[in-house]
Every structure is written in structure tokens, then in C-alpha cells.
Structure 1
Amino acid sequence: MPSRTRLIVDVDTGIDDSLALVYLAASADAEVVAVCCTAGNVPTAQVTRNTLAWLDMCGLSGVEVAVGADGPLVAPLMTTEDTHGPLGVGYAELPQSSRAVSTRSAAHAWVELARENPGELVGLVTGPMTNLALALRLEPELPTLLKRVVIMGGSFDHPGNTTPTSEWNVAVDPESAKEVFDAFESVPAGREPIVCALGLTERIEMHPAHVARLAEISGSVPVESLSIDDRGRRSQASVPIVRHLTDAVRFYMEFHHAQGEGYLAHMHDPFAAAVALHPEMAEYALATVDVELTGTLTRGTTVADRRGFWNRRPNAAIAVATDPEAFFDHLLETVGTFAATR
């Protein structure tokens, strides 16, 4: 058996983070060492409740859950309940967890776990980078203590989804994103953070047929066909994980439809989670990434220097190509097979 990828996962658990967590729990080649919670899609307290609920449902009740910052380093907190629902998980009604969170903060969890396991842990960040930035302030050597970092965030040569030029996770806390990218200019070649940005993740489109396939693989009945004509309908799926994911994804698809993008859902975070386990799933372009903090119209915009204009070391391997349907085949088979056992 190949060795498992050991991960610190940092989330702002909304709908796509939820599927990412289930995917990691379902993956035999993943070991989730800790999950850190940060404010983003919803406030930190709700992120924590969502995270605990999903981990409990997936049988990961022993995984450390560390609570992080209540807001960005500088800016007021933005949340996005219009996209992810008032509780961050669409129409899903998750069971409440009774277990306690970690006694250490998310930033301390990042630092102490990396020190205890030098060169062994992959960091996966699917929300704002606040916790990671705070961890870097505590331990500037963190970039070389970690095996690698995978980030879902940013937008390069592609429209933003929060402002005309900025992506949500970076737009929520641009200062933290800049601190992270600046810090990772010190890593050796070949260990640059992998960045899964909007230009690629908006091609990871989940459609109703994917949700139906998930039910079929898991043996859940009935196999439901999501439709914009059934706004707000609750799933009757017999398999709990499928039922809750269906209720979450329906809300997400309704949001995208209202934005004129079609009845679909961009699954940014599950793709980043898959890349953390299987980097070969994507092709990459090295670049030096920085973040605009002061632009009147462009605050939160990520800028990639691919030609060396800044005379700075590359600090990102930007994922630029993948096979979306091959990804969904892998995702649905992994999650569906796992869901059948829960």
C-alpha cells in the first residue's frame, strides 16, 4: 500500500468545502491530521459547527478541530450566505455534534503539528488564508516545515467572482493572502504552493447528472434528479451523506442559476482537495504571485508574474489544465462508495 498523504485542512465550511471534507474522509490515501476553521463563507462559529457535523458523519470524530480567527487580519469580515445559505450548507440540516474543539488555536495547530512532523504534512487551504498567515507570524520557517501547501484561491487572466478582478477567498482577507505568498518565496524549487484558481475551478461544474450518479454509486434511493423547477425541495435520499450533500448542492445550483451561470455548481474546493492527494491530476505554470492591497478598483486581485519582471522567485505553481470529467469520475466513485458504508 502506498503511504497516505497527511493533511492539515483549513476551511470556511460552506457547500463546496463540505464535499471536499467528505471526499478526504472517503479517500483511503488521505489522513486528515487536523481541520482548522476560519471565517469566510459564514462566521467562524458556524464554520466550526458545520465542520464537526461533517467529520462526525464521516466517522472522523477523533480528528482535531481547531478554531481560528473570527475575521480577517485587517478588513471587516464579509460572509456569503446568499451563496451558501444562512448556515453555510444550503438546505442541509446537519446533526449537531456534541464533541469539544481543540484547546489550541488554528494558528498554533498549524505551527505545532508542522514542528512535530517536519516535511511530512500537506496543508490544504480552501477558505481565506487568515489562519495560515497568523501561523506564519508565529513560525516564519513554516513554509519549509510543511511538505507542500495547496490553496484554492485567486484568479489569473480570468474574471473574479467577488469583484470584477478578485476571487472570494482572497477578497475576504487580501492581507493574509499577500503574507502567505510572500512567505512562500523561500521554499525550494519544486515545493511551491499549488494554487487552484478560478480560471480552472470554474470549469469544475457539477450538474444534476453528477448528483444522480453519486446516489446510484452509493445505492441511495430514490435517485433524485435536481431541477430548477424544484427550488427548495428537500432530498429524500436513503443514504445520509447523499441526502445532506444533495440538499447542500441544490442550494448552490440555485445560486449559480440566479447569477446567470446555469443550473450547476462550481466545485472549487473538492478539486483542490483532489489535487492535494493527486497533483498529477493537473498541469501547472510557475509564477510569482502577489496581491493588490491598495487599488481603488482592484483590491484583492491576485497578480501572476510568469516572465520574471519582478526579479523574484516563483512562489506558486498555478494549476492551469485538467480533465473535469475524469475528476468527477474519481470524486463520485470515491464519495459514493464511501457513503454506502456510513
Structure 2
Amino acid sequence: MAETVTARRRIVLDCDTGLDDTLTLIFLSGRPDVELVAVGSVHGNVSAVQGAHNSAAVLKALGRPDVPVTVGARRPLAQPVQYSARVHGSDGLGEIPIDREVRVRSDSSAAEQLVQLARRYPGELEIVAVGPLTNIALALMIEPDLPSLIAGISVMGGAVTVPGNNTPWAESNIAHDPEAASLVFSAGWRRCVLAGLDVTLTTWLRPAELAAIDGLATPGGRLAQQIIRRFSAYFSVAYGRQSCPIHDPTAAILLLHPEYGQYQPWSVQVELARGLTRGATLADRRPFVAGKPEPPHPPIEVATGLNVDALLECFVAGIRAAGTAPGQQTEKEARGE
């Protein structure tokens, strides 16, 4: 009997590779149902150039130097650039030892790469965006039909129902480029998921997950152990907990497993005015219908709840599979089933 071949989902990861971006790279590389088509870097946790080299170094460590990595936007659309060395270290990877003899693409930008791939795979390509949204906004300017060419996009960003972390009102990825986020949220995608602090701050790794990852001897497992230790060191000071939430991987998991989340179809606007609330993500959450004005743009799927047990199990399974030889793990195991 012929073996059934499962079609893999083509994904582009757009990231500012710091600590939890790295966990996302490890997770996606361990999924047998994912074809990681390309990675684009963007300013944010570190410079776009540093982020690209971080991504390439991580992929090399995982045995995936075949994935093209392209440098993206070096600054926001309308404000000065800022970085997050306080959280992610001076190099974005917490100064862990890693082979940095890598190359990144220089023949196109991350936005151009995304447009090229969207045209090559119309209706098939999906985006996981876990940094500021500058590259996605620039791609929309290059190709206005991008939302119809892309099967779906999942964004780690925003704080719709909870406080921010960059400011009391704004989450970091949105605060780093509010104008770009505004363009992306109003574009009218086939599917757009927003995984903000509303849900990602519920994804703290628990003793069981930490122990499972600590027991891994695979390349992906060893790398994840170092990253989690560095990330947890920050959160032990900031939150008083010896663990860390998996902010960025949550966006990837919800794209692959929408059933792990609960969502509200809200039209999200971004505060662009200069002042205290710049970068805030605002949704009209009023329950009444009569007299309520039409939203300024199509609603997106704002994640408001998670099946945390399933999500964390899925994350650990992806880390377990990363860097292992083909055939060492079944597809169901890698999906956490």
C-alpha cells in the first residue's frame, strides 16, 4: 500500500531574531508538515543585519543552511530605530556560543523576497511575523494584491485587552513601528491572526516542559536549553519567575493549529499620534449592534484565549524534533498528538 504524503505548508518567517524568535525557528524547523521557505530579518530586538546573521547561525546549528535568510528593513517607517539589548543581550542571542560563519542573501530585501515568493506560490504561502511589521508593510507597498496572494498571516504583537510591555499601552513589536502595524492590520488578508500579550503571557513554560526540554540531546534541544536559560534570566528579574513565556512561538502554533485558540473578530486600529499611547492596539469591543458604526477596515482574528496544555505540548514536540535525522520521529509525535 502506498504511503500517504502530507502536503507541507509553505511558511516565511519574518523576525528580529532575539531569544524567542530563535525558539520559533527551532520549533518550525522541527515540524515535518512545514516547509520553511525563507526567513526575513527586521529591526527590533537587534539590527536587521544582526538579526539576519542570528537566523542564519541558528539554522546552521539545526542543519538547515538551505533556508535562505534575507536582510530586511533597517529602520521603522516614521520614527527612529530602537533595539532591545536589555532583554536579548547585545547580540540578540544572549551571548551564547554559536557558529557565526554564515552568509545571508544580499540580492534582494526581505520585503522583495516575500513578494517574489507570494507570486511564485499564489494562495499557498503563509507568514509568521514575530517582529516589527515593517517588512510586511513594505511588501504591501510593492504588491497591493499581497493579501489575496497570501493564504494567511499570524502576528505576534499587540495588547488589546491587557497592558503593554514597551509602554503601559503598547507592546514592543507594535511600538517599534506603529505605522507599519496600522498598514498590515488594515490590509484585508484572507486570514490574519493576532497573537498578542493577551494570550502569550499565559504561555509560561512549566516544570514539566522545562524538564522535557532539558532532557534533550538533539541540536535543537541543546540550543533551546541555552536560549530558555537566557530568556528566563531576564524574566526572573522582571517578573520574579524562573521561567519564560513563549511569545513568538505562540504565533506560529496558532497559524498551524487554530483550534488551540479562542478568537474575537475585531477590527484593530493602532494609535499613531505622538504621545503616551502611541503604538496602542485598539479594538471596538462594544457588544451592541444597533447604532454601532461600520469598522474602518475588515476584522482580524484577535486571540483572546488558549488551550495552554495543547499549545505547550505542541511546542515541546517541535523542539524535540528539531535537528534530528529524518525518520527519527513520526509526524504525529512532532505535532504533539
TM, length-normalised to structure 1: 0.88
1:327 to 311, 315, 324: 311
Indicate the residue corresponding to 2:241 in structure 1: 262
Partner Cα distance (1:54, 1:166) in 2: 29
1:106-135 CA distance string (max 9 Å, x none)? 111111111121111111100000000011
Indicate the residue corresponding to 1:230 in structure 2: none
Partner Cα distance (2:205, 2:136) in 1: 29
More divergent stretch after superposition (258-267 vs 33-42): 258-267
1:340–1:61: structure 2 CA closer, same or farther, 3 Å change rule?
closer
Q: Is the Cα contact below 8 Å between 2:62 and 2:219 reproduced in 1?
A: no
Query: Is residue 253 from structure 1 mapped to residue 232 from structure 2 by the alignment?
Result: yes
1:132 to 133, 136, 146: 136
Q: Is the Cα contact below 8 Å between 1:90 and 1:249 reproduced in 2?
A: no
Indicate the residue corresponding to 1:68 in structure 2: 72
Query: Is residue 317 from structure 1 mapped to residue 301 from structure 2 by the alignment?
Result: yes
Indicate the residue corresponding to 1:233 in structure 2: none
Partner Cα distance (1:115, 1:160) in 2: 36
What are the residue-to-residue correspondences of 1:1-342 with 2, within 5 Å? 1-184=5-188, 187=189, 191-207=190-206, 209-216=208-215, 218=216, 220=217, 239-307=218-286, 309-312=292-295, 313-341=297-325
1:250-306 CA distance string (max 9 Å, x none)? 121111121134222121111111112222221211010110010521000000124
Q: Give the drift of 1:165.
A: 0.8
Aligned residue pairs, count? 317
**2:266 partner SS:** strand
Q: Is the Cα contact below 8 Å between 1:29 and 1:277 reproduced in 2?
A: no
Q: Is the Cα contact below 8 Å between 1:7 and 1:122 reproduced in 2?
A: yes
More divergent stretch after superposition (324-333 vs 14-23): 324-333
Partner Cα distance (1:306, 1:117) in 2: 36
More divergent stretch after superposition (132-141 vs 276-285): 276-285
1:63–1:240: structure 2 CA closer, same or farther, 3 Å change rule?
closer
Q: Give the drift of 1:164.
A: 0.4
Q: Percent identity among equivalent residues? A: 36
Q: Is the Cα contact below 8 Å between 1:93 and 1:244 reproduced in 2?
A: no
Q: Give the drift of 1:244.
A: 2.7
1:123-177 CA distance string (max 9 Å, x none)? 1100000000011111111111101111110001101011001100000111110
**2:311 partner SS:** helix
Partner Cα distance (2:198, 2:240) in 1: 15
2:171 alignment partner AA: E
Partner Cα distance (2:203, 2:271) in 1: 26
More divergent stretch after superposition (44-53 vs 298-307): 298-307
**1:284 partner SS:** strand
1:166-220 CA distance string (max 9 Å, x none)? 1000001111101111222xx4xxx33111010100101024542321132x3x3
1:77-101 CA distance string (max 9 Å, x none)? 1111111111111242221133342
Q: Is the Cα contact below 8 Å between 1:214 and 1:333 reproduced in 2?
A: no
Q: Give the drift of 1:57.
A: 1.7
**1:183 partner SS:** coil
Q: Is the Cα contact below 8 Å between 1:288 and 1:314 reproduced in 2?
A: yes
1:28-81 CA distance string (max 9 Å, x none)? 010111111001001111101110011112222111211101111111111111
Q: Is the Cα contact below 8 Å between 2:26 and 2:224 reproduced in 1?
A: no
2:244 alignment partner AA: A
**Structure 2: which 5+ residue stretches go unaligned?**
327-337
TM, length-normalised to structure 2: 0.89
Q: Is the Cα contact below 8 Å between 2:151 and 2:191 reproduced in 1?
A: no
Partner Cα distance (1:339, 1:329) in 2: 18
2:205 alignment partner AA: M
Partner Cα distance (1:241, 1:250) in 2: 14
Partner Cα distance (2:239, 2:153) in 1: 33
Q: Is the Cα contact below 8 Å between 2:19 and 2:231 reproduced in 1?
A: yes
Q: Is the Cα contact below 8 Å between 1:34 and 1:64 reproduced in 2?
A: yes
Cα RMSD after superposing both structures: 1.8
**2:187 partner SS:** helix
Q: Give the drift of 1:21.
A: 0.5
